[in-house]
Amino acid sequence: MRKSRYTDSQILAILKQNENSVPVPELCREHGMSSAQFYKWRATFGGMDALMMKRLKELEDENKRLKKMYVEERLKAEIRKEPLRESCKAISAMKTL
């Protein structure tokens, strides 16, 4: 995933400017961003302070790490099951003879 050009504090400052009645098109022009990006930030970070934003980022990183661990464990489990499946197939093939 791409890293944002803006730091968390910059994003919060831009959102605060909008709360202080600065129009969105003016903010976008001033900071060189699209209005879609602004509204995405507002949906994600609206009403947060710096500590809450930092905690959200930490939780997202932890969630990513846990998902990766889960996938690795599922892969290991599938690898362990493969020899068992093969031996079951061999046994059933012997029974049919």
Q: At what angle do helices 35-45 and 8-19 cross, to 10 degrees?
A: 100
What are the sequence ranges of the domains in the chain? 1-48, 61-97
Q: Is the pTM of this model over 0.85?
A: no
CA 89, CA 54: separation in Å to the nearest integer? 53
pLDDT in tens, the chain (97 residues): 567 788 888 999 999 999 998 999 999 999 999 999 999 999 988 888 888 988 998 999 999 999 999 999 999 999 888 887 777 777 777 776 6
